Amino acid sequence: MEDTNYRMPLIGDPAPAFEAVTTQGPIKFPEDFKGKWVILFSHPADFTPVCTTEFMAFASMADEFKELNTELVGLSVDSLYAHIAWLRKIQELEWKGMKNVEVKFPLIEDIKMDVAKKYGMIQSQSTTQAVRAVFFIDPKGIIRTILYYPASLGRNFEEIKRITLGLQKADKDSVATPANWRPGDDTIIPTPGSCGVAKERMESKDENKYCLDWFLCFNKEKK
Q: Strands 187-188, 216-219: parallel, antiparallel or unpaired by DSSP? A: antiparallel
> Has 51 been annotated as catalytic?
yes
Which residue in the list 51, 195, 211, 217 is annotated as catalytic?
51
Inter-residue contact 143 to 12 (CB < 8 Å):
yes
Catalytic residues: 51
